[in-house]
Structure 1
Amino acid sequence: MYNSQEQMILGGLVIVYFLFLFGVSLYINQRSIKTYDDYNVAGRSVSIFPLILTFVGTAVGGSTLLGFMENGYRFGMGQHWLNFGTLFAGIILMFFFVKKIRQYGEKYDMVTIADFTTLRFGEGARFPTVISILIAYSAITGMQFVAIATILNLTIGMSITTGIIISWVMLTLKTYFGGMKSVIWQDAFHGTIQTIGIFTLFVVVIIASGGWGNITENALAMNEGANLSIFSISSTQVFVYLLTIGAYQFVRQDLWQRFWAAKDIKTASRGYWISIILAFLTGFFVITIGVAGKYGLQMGEINPTLSYYEIIGNVFNFPMVVVMIIALLATVISTADSFFMAGASSIVNDIIKPRLKSQDDKKLLFYSRVSVMLVSIFSILLALYIPQLVNLWVTGTAMLVSSLLAPVIFGLFWKGTTKAGGTWAMWIGLIIAVVWQMAGHPFGIHPVFIGLPISTVLVIVISLLTRSNGMNVHHEEEAI
């Protein structure tokens, strides 16, 4: 794709970029990270500008830029349902969940979702929550390793396996030293680059395609005009997207942690609301670029997985290609370290911390960094096992949704939910989803269509049957 001189330039750029980010992490580690809260929730003092961009930077990752564009190129405008699922969930979350989540976090100094499920359902709920979070976030972190490996493969010719290992080492070191404070401030930088880069690419591709009218004419000439409709997708696939990528927004630990990291509820609400709009527009631009690349630029027979690289190479000269590679790196890295921290905080906060006799900040900081290493190992194993971007994302979110969605929602809004109802729903939903995934989707049914309904029924039925044993709502919760 690139000649040897261009590969050398791009390879050097990647190295310099990572060294710069690593240096920033070390600087923040020395200057700002003094406590456990500093490392895991950025000291609960983040202002609105970095909060908006860290929301966007986390939401728009490698799967969005590379996976969404590939899907748009392959299947057309119907892939916007990937994006609609996130938008619908974000709006509901904004109006009905954010305030409640923030209030719980403030009152009980929460760091993870397991802090909430344990408060609501007792210590028995902590372990299934942690397992669900780790499976999902390790899968999504591994997805970013794959995305970076793909960049290295296409720019400097490195093998995918070697690229995964290299990206694993670099991202692990950066996150190990920087913690959440470094993640959020680097996301502000990355979010700015990726937003400007994607918008610029969208405008240039539409102009180079001759406008939407020309794109439509070309699609019709290829007898693929149906691909320009948002309904060019099966209803089953729509529901898979809504119940995985969409529904998991409600139990995204990285989102909850950012609601708690904001300096106040007003900042959390405004920051999230603006980020919902920016993330939706970004997703819209990316999918449409894929569609326009196929029917507008008419690049001939290309590998759809390379659509991003082929499109930027078609409309830009090499110096601008370099800029777009930076935008791609910014997009991937901003998601990877966020999910790293979400998974790692579950290990230290929910497995290690409850078992420590002495919980001083120095010891907790040490174990927080150990947790980053543990998540990184699990993530690289998943990346090597499922090296397809969107599949890895959907698989991870299906596990999380099947286990946590119903218990968390009922726990937030129905005081009649009991410890037994919440805990059993988590365990059974998770086990069924994992078994169904490992069995290869028997009868062609996605795991989320089995795990989520069963979890929902269980949390209701078991709660009704066990209410006579006493409501498990703490007196302290009545004010929330």
Structure 2
Amino acid sequence: MSDQVQPPLPQGAGYGVVVGFGVAFALGMIWVTRALKKSFNEDNKTTETFMVADRAVGTGLTASAVISSWLYSTALLGASLLTYKYGLALGVWWGASASTMVCFLSLISIEAKRRAPNAHTLLELIRVRYGTIAHLIWIVFCLLTNILNFSSMLLGASAAVTSLTGMDVIASTYLLPVGVGVYTYFGGLRATFLTDYLHTFIIMIILVWITIKIIVVKEIGSIGALYDAVIAADKENPVQGNYGGSHLTMRSEQCLYFGILHVISNFGAVIMDTGFWQKGFSANVAAAVPGYVLGGVASFSVPWAIGTFGGLAAVALESTSIFPTYPRAMTAEEVSSGLVLPYVVQAVAGKAGAGALLLTIFMACTSIASAQMIAISSIISFDIYGTYINKKATDKQLITWSHIGVVATSLVIPTLSTAFNKGGVDMTWLLYAIGNVINPGCIPTVFALLWKGQTKAAAIISPLVGVCCAISVWLGTAYAYFGEITVASTGSTMPCLFGCVTAFFVPLPTTLFISFVRPSSFDWSVFRTQIRKVRQSEQNVAEADQESEEWFSPEMKQYMRKMSRWASFWAVFTLIGHVFLWPLAMYGAKIVFSKSLFTAWIVVSLVYLWFTLIVGNFYPLYDGGARKIWVVLRGRVSPKASGEVDTPQDSSDASSDRPPKQANVETKVLTDS
């Protein structure tokens, strides 16, 4: 038998999904965009709608978008391949690195609404507070974050598409973003939210189906049989660094190292990704905290469940005749390229499974691609063109440059991903190494919104010092461990771990020291006075000023302070629970799972996965989406779209969990969407 694994699907299936579904989604989103304009007066040709969806996205859609944000093809493929290599602890660590960061972002989101309610991008806050030099530094950081995240996702997705269909890897790299670029071009961030929901709906159903297929396939048959098969495989090939050499233990050195690395790197991937900030800006004030918290908690299950099922099934099935590589084991290149999950799905579900996974990877890829395109295009239009090229840019000009940014992104990122592929850089290398270059901006960015004492000098110097220290430690450690600096050595666990930790923590004492040497205090009201909404005409300036005054009524201030406290609680609670009380505490227990404990572990992960399906698929419909869909399908015009608004409610509502209506006139249009 040839060592080359034959794709289960023909090339036509690959082109059909990548091109056909891309065109279908593009046409569908164009229709939806026009329908929303007719029914709800949402004009995607305005900057406020294109970039921040009129700041009116409800809780259900926000939560679904957050879940979608962590349905990276990188997460699905990476969690499976690393569980296959290092054990079941990996899925928990990956889930923790997602949920804790998103819940922390709920605090960022509500604080941004309190202090800069009219902001469009993270970089806008940096420019207003720290000036041009800091703004240019953050442009570089944020562009690197978006570009590397996008490239990593595209590398993994294109490799998986090629393995499933035989489609040329370069062709899949370039074609995957095409349809995304079209509907993002026409629909902006609103299209991103809608496609996030649709993609999440389809992906979650497929993922639940895949987990069931893995358990019931004849070669496994039950949770207990999966346990026995993994135990038998570990006797033949024990895992180095794991307690008892077993996959079924939480005491795994490599999983611990990865967990620390990924929690810290994901902090950078979230905080320095302007796309996450824009989704926060886009959420209605009532949806910012519950939407992010609900989505963050729900997102934990996907890497945990899929990583556990995919990785352990590969261990159990690799020596059976149904596995695609049989009778040989997977090569290191196949594993690092993310082919573990595709091979498992082929084994348990044949061509139907391969087709379902192909669709899942396409959905995951396009959903993330849309958010990244909006983020990058916003930087190009708003923070580069509108700030340095044409300071008096009109709303129409900003939209034009946003469109240019979308087109440029859909061409440049595939080219960069192809260069990575030809240079031997794969998805795993980017996954491990990205924190070395983006983490230095994390703490200064958080302080820019949460601490008025950080000075301009501290904000500029601390990330630059962090970059220099991180790269020195990263490359120096790679040379110390392996005696050379190559793609392989710099992508290894320990060099990336030391580099990422250095990148994250060095700016903290640096910014504190500089800020305390020559202290100053920033006036938060500067954000409100200098950051205004983009208006289509000067006639709307007075209206904007009136809305700003209403927004900062005593009732609204009280409500947002309350939500800020809730966000702080959930940020701390998820960090303690998902990191310290779960994987880190269980690392200290020197045990290999018993069959009963393993069974409970699998059952709980499945229940959690179904909870995520309910939150991502059905809660947005319950939260008002079904009513809005009905309005659109009937071709009716919403009363609120024609100018009708709710009357102000009593100020006693400020103590409730709902914001005062009087301060929410503009955003009430889509509160329940």
- In the alignment, does 2:122 pair up with 1:102? no
Q: Which amino acid aligns with 2:144?
A: I
> 1:132–1:230: structure 2 CA closer, same or farther, 3 Å change rule?
same
2:23 to 15, 19, 23: 19
User: Secondary structure, in 3 states, of the residue corresponding to 2:309?
Assistant: helix
1:267 aligned residue: 287
- In the alignment, does 2:85 pair up with 1:74? yes
The answer to whether the Cα contact below 8 Å between 2:55 and 2:281 also exists between their aligned partners in 1 is: yes
Aligned partners of 2:113 and 2:251: how far apart in 1? Answer: 37
> 1:198–1:398: structure 2 CA closer, same or farther, 3 Å change rule?
farther
User: Secondary structure, in 3 states, of the residue corresponding to 1:227?
Assistant: coil
2:247 aligned residue: 227
- Report how far residue 438 of structure 1 moved: 7.4
1:88 aligned residue: 100
Write the deviation string for residues 24-78 of structure 1: whole angstroms up to 9, x where unpaired: 3433565541201211112222223322222111221110111221222222213
Q: How does 1:348-363 map to 2 (within 5 A)?
A: 348-355=381-388, 356-363=390-397
User: Larger radius of gyration, structure 1 or 2?
Assistant: 2
1:112 aligned residue: 121
1:290 aligned residue: 310
The answer to whether the Cα contact below 8 Å between 1:416 and 1:471 also exists between their aligned partners in 2 is: yes
The answer to whether the Cα contact below 8 Å between 1:135 and 1:396 also exists between their aligned partners in 2 is: no
Q: Which range is displaced more, 185-194 or 449-458?
A: 449-458
> 1:409–1:308: structure 2 CA closer, same or farther, 3 Å change rule?
same
Q: Which range is displaced more, 160-169 or 135-144?
A: 160-169
Q: How does 1:273-422 map to 2 (within 5 A)?
A: 273-298=293-318, 299=323, 300=326, 301-302=329-330, 303-304=334-335, 305-355=338-388, 356-387=390-421, 388-402=426-440, 404-422=441-459
Q: Which range is displaced more, 317-326 or 329-338?
A: 317-326
Write the deviation string for residues 332-373 of structure 1: whole angstroms up to 9, x where unpaired: 211121122112212222111113243221101001112223
Aligned length: 473
- Report how far residue 248 of structure 1 moved: 3.4
1:38 to 49, 69, 72: 49
- Report how far residue 135 of structure 1 moved: 0.5
- Report how far residue 396 of structure 1 moved: 3.2
Q: How does 1:419-434 map to 2 (within 5 A)?
A: 419-433=456-470
- Report how far residue 323 of structure 1 moved: 2.9
1:471 aligned residue: 521
Aligned partners of 1:432 and 1:158: how far apart in 2? Answer: 42
Aligned partners of 1:448 and 1:473: how far apart in 2? Answer: 33
Gaps of 5+ in 1: none
1:454 aligned residue: 506
1:179 to 188, 203, 206: 188
Q: TM-score, normalised by structure 2?
A: 0.65
The answer to whether the Cα contact below 8 Å between 2:116 and 2:527 also exists between their aligned partners in 1 is: no
Q: Which range is displaced more, 235-244 or 294-303?
A: 294-303
> 1:41–1:474: structure 2 CA closer, same or farther, 3 Å change rule?
closer
- Report how far residue 119 of structure 1 moved: 3.1
Q: Which range is displaced more, 192-201 or 303-312?
A: 303-312
- Report how far residue 476 of structure 1 moved: 4.3
The answer to whether the Cα contact below 8 Å between 2:79 and 2:90 also exists between their aligned partners in 1 is: yes
Aligned partners of 1:233 and 1:420: how far apart in 2? Answer: 40
- Report how far residue 5 of structure 1 moved: 7.2
- Report how far residue 161 of structure 1 moved: 2.6
Q: CA RMSD in A?
A: 2.8
- Report how far residue 192 of structure 1 moved: 0.8
The answer to whether the Cα contact below 8 Å between 1:429 and 1:455 also exists between their aligned partners in 2 is: yes
Q: Which range is displaced more, 292-301 or 36-45?
A: 292-301
Q: Which structure has the highest helix share of the two?
A: 1
User: Secondary structure, in 3 states, of the residue corresponding to 1:228?
Assistant: coil
- In the alignment, does 2:286 pair up with 1:249? no
Aligned partners of 1:390 and 1:87: how far apart in 2? Answer: 21
> 1:277–1:5: structure 2 CA closer, same or farther, 3 Å change rule?
closer
The answer to whether the Cα contact below 8 Å between 2:18 and 2:172 also exists between their aligned partners in 1 is: no
> 1:201–1:5: structure 2 CA closer, same or farther, 3 Å change rule?
closer
User: Secondary structure, in 3 states, of the residue corresponding to 2:287?
Assistant: helix
1:240 aligned residue: 261
- In the alignment, does 2:176 pair up with 1:167? yes
Aligned partners of 2:467 and 2:392: how far apart in 1? Answer: 33
> 1:381–1:323: structure 2 CA closer, same or farther, 3 Å change rule?
closer
Q: Which amino acid aligns with 1:256?
A: W
Q: TM-score, normalised by structure 1?
A: 0.89
- Report how far residue 433 of structure 1 moved: 4.3
Aligned partners of 1:179 and 1:90: how far apart in 2? Answer: 22
